[in-house]
Chains A and B, each alone.
Chain A
C-alpha cells in the first residue's frame, strides 16, 4: 500500500467514525437572516443551546447564505445521520418536500409551514393570539388613538399578525385607527431597515404613537426610529425589549426556542404531523421584563392576562386571517 492510499484509508476511517459519533444528534438549520438576527433564528439557536446545556449533548447547525443551499443543506445533514433535523422558516417547505421522501427514517421538523409527509412535524404558531394581546396593550398605551403595524414581506402569515393585532386594538378601543404597511413583496423586505424607518416616520406623521413591527431585520429600523422619535414600539418573535429599554412597550414572543427544544428533547421519538403552538401551550405570549416594567401598568397587565386566560380556555376566539383570508378588523 502506497503512502497516499494509506492516507486516504485513514481519512476515510476518520470520516466514518466522525459520522458515527454524530449519528442521531439533532440538527438545526437557520434561515437566511442568519443565526444572530436578534429574532427568529437566534430564538431557534437559543432552544437548541438550552437542550445542549441541559443534556450535555451536541447538535449540528448550519447557516445558509443563499436560497440555492437549502436542499443541499438538508441532504447533507440527513446523510450524516442527524435526527431529528429542525429548520426554521416557511421557505424550507419546498426543498423539504423533495428531500423528506428520500430519507424515510429521518425525522424532520419545519417551523411556520405545513409539509405533508409521514416523517415531518409541521410546527405552526398561533401568532394571531399573541398579536391580539400586544394589540390590546398598544391600544391602552396609545394616547392618540392611532397605532401602527409594519409587516415584512406581504404574505398571509404576516397579515395574520396584523389581523390579530388589529382585533386586539379594537377590543380595547373600538374607534381606534390601525395603520398597516408592508415593507415589500420580495424576500428583501425582511432585511430593509431603511425602509422600515421611513415607514415608521410616515406612520408617526399620520398620528401613530405605538408601532408593532413584524418584519424580521427590517424591524430593527422600526424600533430604532420609534425610539429616536420618542414613541413606543412592539418587538416580535424574540424578546426585543432590551434593544431600547423604556421605549419598547413589549414584544410578541413566538417561542421558536421552545419548539426547537421540544423537538430536540424527543429526539428519535419525535411525533410527526401537525403541531400547533398557541397561548394555551406557551407557544406565544407577550414579554415582560425589567426593560418594560415601567411601561406596563397593573391595569394593562390584568386586562391582557385575563384575555390570555379566555383565549386558552376557548372562551375568546381570535380570528385567524389564514383560515379564510379575510380580517374583520383591518382591510389590506
Chain B
C-alpha cells in the first residue's frame, strides 16, 4: 500500500466520520440532559431530504442547510413534547420519528420531483464545494507526482466541505460548553439528578428542551451534509443507519465529546475501509467480507457494553421523564 492510498483512505474516513460526529454530538447533548434519542436517524433523514429539495429548487445551498435544520428541529420539538411535556416513553417516540421520516421523505420527494424518491442532482451553488487551501493540488493525477508532504497537505487537510471543518471545531466547543459553562453544568446535572436541579430553582423542562433543540440543530447539519456535500442530492434512505452508528459511537465514547471524536473517526475509518476492500485484501493478504466491516461498529459497541473495555455508564436520569410532584 503506497502513501497516497493510505492518505485517500484517511481522507475518506474524515469525510465519512463527519455526519457521524455531528449526530454523535447531537445525541451527546440530548442524552446528557436525560433525553434518550433513538430518532437521530430520522432527524438526519428529513434534514437530508429537505436540504436537498430546497437546495435543488432555490439553487442556494445555505437555504438548503437552513431548511434541513428547520425540518430536524420540527421533529425535535415533537420528541420534546412527547418525552418532556407529556412524559411519554422516549424510545418509542424516537422509533416513531424514524419510521415517520423513512416513509415521509420518499413519498414527499416522489410527489414533489417524480424521480423515484430522489431529488434532482445538485450542482454549482446548490452544493457545498470543497474548500481548497492555498497551494493545494486538487487533481489526483497531478498529486501522484507530488512529494509526500504536499500529498498529505492537499489530500488530507485541504479540499473538504466547510461542514467538515465546522464539525471538527464543534468538538472543543461542545467540551467547553458542557464542562466550562454554567449552562453545561446544569445540563449535565439535569441528566443525573433533575430533582436537585429543580430544588436549586432551575427549570428542568426548559433545560431539557434546550438540549433537545441543540440536538435538532446538529442533526439538521449532519443531514444537510449528507445530501449537499457528501452526495449531490437526496436518495431514499440515504442515512443508511448512520444515526444508529452515531448512537453506538456515543456509547463507545462514554458520553464525552473528545472521545466521541475518536470513536467517530474510528467508525469513519471502518466505513472507508469497507469502500476499499481491494486495499485491505492487499494489506493483510486475506479477503475480508465487506459486510463484516460494515458490522464492526456494532460489534465493537457490543464488546464495550459487555464491559470488556471498562464500564459505560449512561446519565443516571436518562430515559426517565421528570415528575415534579405526585
Please give the residue numbers on chain A whose beta carbons come within 8 Å of chain B beta carbons, in ascending order: 32-37, 41, 63, 65, 144, 181, 184-185, 191, 193-195, 198-199, 201-202, 204-205, 207, 209, 217, 220-221, 224, 229-231
Closest-by-CB residue of A relative to B140 is A204
Interface residues in B, total, Cβ within 8 A: 28
Q: How far is the CA of A219 from the CA of B144 in the complex (A)?
A: 24
Closest A residue, CB atoms, query B120: A36
A181–B118 CA distance with the chains assembled, in angstroms? 25
Q: Tell me how far the C-beta of B2 lies from the nearest C-beta in chain A, rounded to whole angstroms.
A: 9
Of the A-B pairs whose beta carbons lie under 8 Å apart in the complex, a sample of 6, sorted by A's number, is: A34-B115, A36-B114, A65-B116, A193-B231, A202-B5, A230-B139
In the bound complex, do residue B144 and residue A205 qualify as a contact, i.e. CB atoms below 8 Å apart?
yes
CB distance from B171 to the nearest CB of A (A): 23
A205-B121 in contact given A199-B275, A224-B232 (Cβ < 8 Å): no
Instruction: Contact check, A63 vs B12: say whether CB atoms are below 8 A apart.
Output: no
Chain A residues lying within 8 Å of B278, measured Cβ to Cβ, are 181, 202
Contact B275 A205 (CB under 8 A): no
* A312 vs B49: C-alpha distance when bound (angstroms): 47
B interface, CB within 8 angstroms of A: 4-5, 8, 12, 106, 110, 114-118, 121, 139-141, 143-144, 230-232, 235-236, 272, 275-276, 278-279, 290
A191 to B290, CA, bound (A): 17
Residues of A within 8 A of B235 (CB): 191, 193, 217
Q: Which 4 A-B pairs have the closest CB atoms?
A: A34-B116, A36-B115, A204-B140, A198-B275
> Are A63 and B116 touching (Cβ within 8 A)?
yes
A194 to B233, CA, bound (A): 11
Q: Nearest Cβ distance between residue A180 and chain B, in whole angstroms? A: 10
Question: Which residues from A are CB-within-8-Å of B276?
Answer: 198, 202
Given A181-B278, A198-B12, A205-B4, decide whether A35 and B114 contact each other with a Cβ distance below 8 A.
Answer: yes
B51 to chain A, nearest CB (A): 16
- Other than the known A32-B116, A36-B115, what 16 A-B pairs have Cβ atoms closer than 8 Å? A34-B115, A34-B118, A37-B116, A65-B106, A181-B278, A185-B290, A194-B230, A198-B12, A202-B8, A204-B141, A205-B8, A205-B140, A205-B143, A205-B144, A207-B144, A220-B232
Q: How far is the CA of A217 from the CA of B115 in the complex (A)?
A: 12
Are the CB atoms of A195 and B290 closer together than 8 Å? no
In angstroms, how far is the closest chain B Cβ from the Cβ of A169?
Answer: 19
Asked, given contacts A193-B232, A198-B12, whether A65 binds B117 with beta carbons under 8 Å apart, the answer is yes
When distances are taken between beta carbons in the complex, the residues of chain A under 8 Å from B232 are: 193, 220, 224
Smallest Cβ distance from A110 to chain B, in angstroms?
Answer: 20
Once the chains bind, are B5 and A194 in contact (CB under 8 Å)?
A: no
> Which of A144, A194, A231 is B231 in contact with, Cβ under 8 Å?
A194
Task: Indicate if the CB atoms of B141 and A229 lie closer than 8 Å.
Answer: yes
Nearest CB in chain A to that of B238: its residue? A194
Give which listed residue, B114, B117, B231, contacts A221 with CB less than 8 A. Answer: B231
Q: How far is the CB of B110 from chain A (nearest CB, A)?
A: 8
- List of A residues within 8 angstroms of B139 by Cβ: 229-230
* A63–B236 alpha-carbon span in the complex (Å): 15
User: Nearest-CB distance from B60 to chain A (Å)?
Assistant: 20
Given A198-B276, A201-B140, A202-B276, A36 contacting B290 (CB threshold 8 A)? no
